[in-house]
Chain A
Amino acid sequence: MANQLTNIDRRNFLRLTGITGAGLVLGLSAHADGVATVENLAAAGESFELTPYVLIEKSGQITIFNTKPEIGQGTFQSIPALIAEELEVSLDKVTIQHTGGEKKFGGAQFSGGSASVRTSYTSLRKVGASAREMLITAAATHWNVPVSECYASDAKVFHRPSGKSLGYGELAEAAARVEVPKEPRLKDPKDFTILGKPSPRPDVPLKVNGTAQFGIDVAVPDMVYASIERCPVLGSKLVSYDDSAAKKVKGVVAVEKCERIHGVYRSEGVAVIAETYWAALQGRKALKVTWDYQGNDKFNTKTYEQSLRDASKQEGAVEHSQGDFDKTFAEAPVKLEAFYETPIVSHSPIEPMNCVASWKDDSLEIWTSTQVPGRIMDDFTKTYGIAPEKLKIHVMFNGGGFGRRLYPDYVHEAVQLTRKIGRPVKSIWTREDDTRMGPFRPMTFSAMKGALSADGKAIAFQHKVISPTLDMRKDYDKTKADGTMTEGISEQKYEIANMKNLYVHHYLHLPLAAWRAVTSTTLAFSHECFIDEMAVKAKKDPMAFRLGMLTKESDTKNLLNKLKEVSHWDKPLPAGWGRGVAQYEFFAGLGGFVVEVSKKGTGIKIEKVYAAIDLGTVVNPDTVEAQVQGAAVMALTAAVKSGITFENGQTVQSNYHNNQLIRINEMPKVEVHILANGGPRIKGVGEPGLPPFAPALCNAIYAATGKRIRRLPFDINKIV
């Protein structure tokens, strides 16, 4: 009976993955307590609550399933590497397959929060180690020799005394019958051949010769193209439309309504569907649409920003309190206050939002660039009443994520359109759609208070955040402190006895979204620039002032000491130069920068950038360097380019000409230092390099020019 069930489960698995000739399939069981144990899929019986991560076929083909979509952050290498290292196979001998939200692959099928490696490091190594031990046991049994005389290398098991070997494919079936080891022995890191070493990413050659398939590159038979007109005044309602001219455009086959669904934010658009994308665009231009602006055409960011300043006078909800801030601040001999402001910004990945969807009978197939296949599986089966086994999601290479592709609003539109017209639809947003429609990273404003003792020690500190929220639930409680919008402000390691951090919610009707490093991207600016202001007020060197508040051992202290060392902090700079430092710790990890600038006319030039990121453990230092360099570029764009502003309810910006990104000629070199000294907490890679860049830059500008920047964006060519 048990065997029968095993066979059924294996068949189910094969059907699910489309892979034939399965031998050994190992997965992870997902326990409620968050601990994962390795299990043999073939022996799973009825339960089948497994995340299959590695499949070894009789042919020798090894497939590793990657539940973390590749968005440029390197999970196509770093996640399979965790298994391959322990399995003793090189990645170039492995097929890597993205999972598509299938229940069997578990609940964490997403890329976000710099979470992929830091949450998988040990559990996926256990998968690989278990497979290795089972293959060795199978070989030892076959040869009738002790297990201790056998070892695995390069996808083979060897018998040391005789030198004979068997390939993993030959062993797979027998290995599947071996009991899964309770505690597989993990390799000693000193024996690693992949982990911790700069390793080439298997997706890079595909991205160099044009063969990497992004969502926008997918074509299926009988496919038509859609371009969707949405109201440029966000928050409007569709009243009516006249599609008579649009339908006369050669190639146009249909005009249909569809709804963009983004949490509580919902809006209807009108899609022109045509045999070519160009025809769809021409048809869209010929549409006549009547919108009801719902009063949102009066909205502009200037007025909204003033309302945020007004809202800062509210007491706010207490996010964190220690000691007695109010009393200490009131009685302090030296105190200071400052107000910081940041803008709305766009994600602007170069691959515009797009989705191919095909609805046939009761089945739906989706091909898209997304960070969240698991979420699409959950949401879309519910929203559209599809059985999970009738929904197939193909996760393509993402042409940039940055948080934008955490939200499948663009997938909803394509799904509705294919359902309506009965043909596969490829919907592509224009760059103008992307720039005008958001969702956007909201601004945060910060009211800062600090107090010093007579001898210049920080004794009281307050960071009050005033902002809209990223929380899109209907039952959002605006009287409570919002953990996402106050991200990190109470997590810094500075030893300041009296602290009271506050949050004031202020409504904004726009579609909003997490952006790479979420709210830390704005809060680190106010937080770390204000710490600098306190240092100046205390007449202390900003690095020494920070280290003076870090008497206990901490990763932050190590990081700042590293930056101090590599930037030669104590070495005098040429006249007209200045240097600044900033660090920020938040849920994703810990990073820091020292930036050096020089005066150049009325502006400044960035001369040198030193970055440090603390990981505890590093999987691919080459990827980490690239991620931190890229984070600095993105942070510089957010600091000195326009951001998104609104007039008459619409974005002023529409494309890259007026929503500019940093270009190659504007970007200085970034020297990256990785701290990977072990420790219990493995930290993230993709985001922590972003938040501390802007404050380090602005602190450097203060040091060089005496000008304190408290509002982003600023014009780097007009400082003084």
Chain B
Amino acid sequence: MIKLTINNQPYEVDASPEMPLLWAIRDMVGLTGTKFGCGMAQCGACTVHVDGNPVRSCSFPVSAAAGKKITTIEGLSERIGEAVKKAWIELQVPQCGYCQSGQIMSATALLKNKPKPTDADIDAAMQGNLCRCGTYQRIRSAIHRASEMIQS
């Protein structure tokens, strides 16, 4: 049994240690907001925060997450996360929406480190998150908008 703390809730999962954290979150804990896209940290749909840092959970062994603070889209509740979600709705960012949990997790991590990111900062922080629908322009605008919300 591996002990996990996800969104401040304790869980015990019966998983082999090398199993990616993603499948523990989705299939064992039942939080499906975190998505499977590629299985090799190429698309970012599975992004969660582990001790506040964005991590591709499809390529992160569940054993390495034991004892750490894991946050998924469902648990994103502090000020910056709320601002990001609000900006995402205000600018109607999602199309199909499948990658957006990951985009929001990456954007929140960016704004925690850089509350006023430049376009170059956004490029650097967000290029690990693919969007096949092509919502990039609105993602960029929404990050700037969330940044404004945080400042005010």
Contacts of A471 in B (CB 8 A): none
Find A210's partner among B74, B89, B129, B133 (CB 8 Å cutoff): B74
Contacts of B31 in A (CB 8 A): 210
- The answer to whether B95 touches A208, judged by C-beta atoms less than 8 angstroms apart, is no
With known contacts A398-B96, A657-B42, A629–B137 Cβ distance under 8 A:
yes
Query: Using an 8 Å CB-CB cutoff, how does the interface string of A664-690 with B read, 1 for contact, 0 for none?
Result: 110101100000000000000000000
Cα of A633 to Cα of B129 in the assembled complex, Å: 14
Query: Using an 8 Å CB-CB cutoff, how does the interface string of B100-114 with A read, 1 for contact, 0 for none?
Result: 110010000000000
- The answer to whether A657 touches B134, judged by C-beta atoms less than 8 angstroms apart, is no
- The answer to whether B89 touches A430, judged by C-beta atoms less than 8 angstroms apart, is no
Contacts of A708 in B (CB 8 A): none
Nearest chain B residue, comparing its CB with the CB of A671 = B137
- The answer to whether B89 touches A208, judged by C-beta atoms less than 8 angstroms apart, is yes
Contacts of B98 in A (CB 8 A): 214, 349-351, 399-400
Contacts of B20 in A (CB 8 A): 278
- The answer to whether B33 touches A209, judged by C-beta atoms less than 8 angstroms apart, is yes
Contacts of B97 in A (CB 8 A): 72, 203-204, 206-208, 212, 214, 397, 399
Nearest chain A residue, comparing its CB with the CB of B86 = A208
Cα of A70 to Cα of B95 in the assembled complex, Å: 9
Q: Is A634 an interface residue (CB 8 A)?
A: yes
Majority DSSP secondary structure for residues of B touching A: loop
Contacts of A400 in B (CB 8 A): 96, 98, 132-133
- The answer to whether A210 touches B32, judged by C-beta atoms less than 8 angstroms apart, is yes
- The answer to whether A211 touches B89, judged by C-beta atoms less than 8 angstroms apart, is no
- The answer to whether B35 touches A204, judged by C-beta atoms less than 8 angstroms apart, is no
Contacts of A276 in B (CB 8 A): 15, 19, 23, 27-28
Q: Is B115 an interface residue (CB 8 A)?
A: no
The residue among B35, B88, B93, B132 with the most chain A CB atoms within 10 A of its own CB is B132
Query: Which of chain A's residues 478-533 have a Cβ closer than 8 Å to chain B?
Result: none
Cα of A208 to Cα of B73 in the assembled complex, Å: 8
With known contacts A212-B97, A663-B127, A428–B36 Cβ distance under 8 A:
yes
- The answer to whether B132 touches A634, judged by C-beta atoms less than 8 angstroms apart, is yes
- The answer to whether A278 touches B19, judged by C-beta atoms less than 8 angstroms apart, is yes
Query: Using an 8 Å CB-CB cutoff, how does the interface string of B21-49 with A read, 1 for contact, 0 for none?
Result: 00100111011111111111011010000
With known contacts A656-B130, A663-B130, A207–B72 Cβ distance under 8 A:
no
Cα of A352 to Cα of B88 in the assembled complex, Å: 24
Cα of A348 to Cα of B137 in the assembled complex, Å: 20
Q: Is B99 an interface residue (CB 8 A)?
A: yes
Q: Is B116 an interface residue (CB 8 A)?
A: no
Find A350's partner among B23, B30, B92, B131 (CB 8 Å cutoff): B131
Q: Is A28 an interface residue (CB 8 A)?
A: no
- The answer to whether B95 touches A657, judged by C-beta atoms less than 8 angstroms apart, is no
Cα of A119 to Cα of B27 in the assembled complex, Å: 40
Cα of A74 to Cα of B94 in the assembled complex, Å: 10
Cα of A428 to Cα of B27 in the assembled complex, Å: 13
- The answer to whether B95 touches A72, judged by C-beta atoms less than 8 angstroms apart, is yes
Query: Which of chain A's residues 208-261 have a Cβ closer than 8 Å to chain B?
Result: 208-214, 216-217, 219, 225, 250
Cα of A351 to Cα of B131 in the assembled complex, Å: 11
Cα of A670 to Cα of B23 in the assembled complex, Å: 37
Q: Is B148 an interface residue (CB 8 A)?
A: no
Q: Is B60 an interface residue (CB 8 A)?
A: no
Contacts of A623 in B (CB 8 A): 92
With known contacts A73-B95, A399-B98, A664-B123, A431–B140 Cβ distance under 8 A:
no
Q: Is A576 an interface residue (CB 8 A)?
A: no
Q: How many residues of B contact A (CB 8 A)?
A: 56
Number of A-B contacts (CB under 8 A): 178
Contacts of A432 in B (CB 8 A): 39
Nearest chain B residue, comparing its CB with the CB of A659 = B42
Q: Is A402 an interface residue (CB 8 A)?
A: yes
Q: Is A170 an interface residue (CB 8 A)?
A: no
- The answer to whether A667 touches B92, judged by C-beta atoms less than 8 angstroms apart, is no
With known contacts A399-B35, A633-B136, A72–B96 Cβ distance under 8 A:
yes
Contacts of B122 in A (CB 8 A): 664
With known contacts A72-B95, A277-B27, A350-B45, A207–B100 Cβ distance under 8 A:
yes
Interface size grouping (class) on chain A: 35 or more
- The answer to whether B95 touches A431, judged by C-beta atoms less than 8 angstroms apart, is no
Cα of A669 to Cα of B93 in the assembled complex, Å: 15
Q: Is B85 an interface residue (CB 8 A)?
A: yes
Query: Which of chain B's residues 125-152 have a Cβ closer than 8 Å to chain A?
Result: 126-127, 129-140
- The answer to whether A350 touches B94, judged by C-beta atoms less than 8 angstroms apart, is no
The residue among B38, B134, B136 with the most chain A CB atoms within 10 A of its own CB is B134
Cα of A631 to Cα of B93 in the assembled complex, Å: 15
Distance in Å: Cβ of B10 to nearest Cβ of chain A: 20
Distance in Å: Cβ of B115 to nearest Cβ of chain A: 19
Query: Using an 8 Å CB-CB cutoff, how does the interface string of A391-413 with B read, 1 for contact, 0 for none?
Result: 00000011111100000000000
Q: Is B16 an interface residue (CB 8 A)?
A: yes
Q: Is A603 an interface residue (CB 8 A)?
A: no
- The answer to whether A402 touches B23, judged by C-beta atoms less than 8 angstroms apart, is no
Contacts of A201 in B (CB 8 A): 92
Cα of A73 to Cα of B140 in the assembled complex, Å: 20
- The answer to whether A205 touches B89, judged by C-beta atoms less than 8 angstroms apart, is yes
Distance in Å: Cβ of A515 to nearest Cβ of chain B: 12
Distance in Å: Cβ of A345 to nearest Cβ of chain B: 12
- The answer to whether B37 touches A350, judged by C-beta atoms less than 8 angstroms apart, is yes
Contacts of A205 in B (CB 8 A): 89
- The answer to whether B42 touches A656, judged by C-beta atoms less than 8 angstroms apart, is yes
Nearest chain B residue, comparing its CB with the CB of A401 = B96
- The answer to whether B23 touches A277, judged by C-beta atoms less than 8 angstroms apart, is yes
Cα of A626 to Cα of B134 in the assembled complex, Å: 8
Q: Is A45 an interface residue (CB 8 A)?
A: no
Nearest chain A residue, comparing its CB with the CB of B97 = A207
> Residues of B at under 8 Å CB distance from A?
15-16, 19-20, 23, 26-28, 30-40, 42-43, 45, 72-74, 85, 88-89, 92-101, 104, 122-124, 126-127, 129-140
Interchain Cβ contacts under 8 Å between A and B, 17 examples? A72-B94, A72-B133, A210-B31, A213-B32, A217-B26, A276-B28, A351-B96, A399-B99, A431-B38, A627-B95, A629-B134, A629-B135, A629-B138, A630-B133, A664-B126, A667-B137, A669-B137
Given contacts A210-B72, A400-B132, A431-B42, 18 further A-B contacts (CB under 8 A): A72-B94, A204-B92, A204-B93, A210-B73, A216-B32, A219-B30, A250-B16, A278-B15, A278-B20, A278-B23, A350-B131, A399-B99, A431-B43, A631-B134, A633-B134, A656-B40, A664-B126, A667-B134
6 closest A-B pairs (Cβ-Cβ)?
A210-B33, A633-B134, A207-B97, A399-B98, A72-B96, A630-B134
